[in-house]
């Protein structure tokens, strides 16, 4: 099905699919180099249609069917895309479901627009990964390559190597969320697989310790990997959203 599109004030074209339904709606925020055709996004859309819940999935610029190329973008650009999509296309507070980088994006949105967050579900959430998961673990050779060429190619289990640009690393430092306290006055559910090789369990524990709020829980799923998209994991995402809805 052909997506609808939204033009942002930065003149980026964001492709999206929207399901009408009851509020608070659910917004899916995808991961780095992921898109809105992923199994989690499509599963949640089907769940929303089945339960009559409003739902939005979209592609950041440089991802999927949206304009631009991946190497042009950075965390701040994609935060602008998410902000434009949520504010323009939804009504009232939303439940943000953030996968991997989408968890970081959800926290950035919640920090800027706390009154528009009815709940937050993180799936292998990866806040600050450009600094802690990339730059902080890179070899001297990789850092020298970045200084000389402006980019580093990282191997990926999901296809072609990720080209990480100097701009992405530098912008990421302006978007860090784990360096200062953050309060989320809405239900927060964090889901993390113990076999995740991309986001270590320590990140989930750090995030649990970092967020302040009245209702925050972390669920560890033994053996689940970073995709978190087998039938059982998908059922846990549904359950987390439904749990948030009961506490809104």
Over 80: is that where the pLDDT of 157 sits? no
- pTM of the predicted model as reported, rounded to 2 decimal places: 0.96
CA–CA distance, 211 with 122 (Å, rounded to integer): 12
Encode pLDDT of 28-85 as tens digits: 999 999 999 999 999 999 999 999 999 999 999 999 999 999 999 999 999 999 999 9
| Annotated catalytic residue, options 66, 196, 198, 229 | 196
Encode pLDDT of 78-136 as tens digits: 999 999 999 999 999 999 999 999 999 999 999 999 999 999 999 999 999 999 999 99
CA–CA distance, 132 with 57 (Å, rounded to integer): 28
Which conformational region is residue 155 in: left (phi greater than 0), alpha (psi within -120 to 50 degrees), or beta?
Answer: beta
100 counts as catalytic: yes
Fold of domain 4-128+176-247: Rossmann fold (3.40.50)
Report domain extents, the chain: 4-128+176-247
17 counts as catalytic: no
For residue 11, what are the contacts with CB-CB under 8 A and spacing of at least 6?
none
61 counts as catalytic: no
CA–CA distance, 99 with 207 (Å, rounded to integer): 14
| Annotated catalytic residue, options 77, 100, 198, 229 | 100
CA–CA distance, 223 with 221 (Å, rounded to integer): 6
């Amino acid at each position: 099905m052909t997506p609808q599109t939204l033009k942002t004030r930065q003149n980026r074209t964001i492709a999206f699919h929207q399901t009408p339904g009851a509020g608070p709606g659910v917004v899916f925020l995808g991961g780095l180099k992921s898109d809105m055709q992923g199994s989690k996004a499509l599963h949640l859309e089907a769940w929303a249609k089945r339960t009559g819940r409003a739902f939005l999935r979209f592609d950041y610029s440089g991802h999927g069917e949206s304009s631009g190329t991946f190497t042009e973008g950075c965390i701040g650009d994609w935060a602008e895309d998410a902000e434009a999509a949520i504010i323009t296309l939804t009504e009232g507070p939303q439940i943000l479901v953030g996968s991997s980088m989408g968890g970081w994006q959800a926290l950035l949105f919640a920090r800027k627009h706390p009154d528009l967050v009815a709940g937050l579900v993180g799936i292998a959430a990866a806040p600050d990964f450009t600094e802690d998961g990339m730059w902080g673990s890179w070899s001297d050779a990789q850092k020298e390559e970045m200084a000389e060429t402006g980019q580093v190619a990282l191997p990926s289990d999901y296809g072609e190597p990720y080209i990480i640009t100097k701009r992405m690393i530098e912008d990421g430092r302006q978007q860090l969320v784990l360096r200062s306290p953050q309060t989320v006055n809405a239900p927060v559910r964090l889901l993390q697989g113990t076999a995740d090789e991309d986001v270590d369990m320590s990140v989930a524990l750090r995030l649990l310790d970092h967020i302040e709020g009245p209702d925050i829980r972390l669920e560890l799923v033994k053996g689940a990997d970073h995709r978190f998209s087998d039938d059982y994991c998908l059922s846990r995402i549904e359950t987390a959203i439904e749990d948030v809805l009961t506490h809104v």
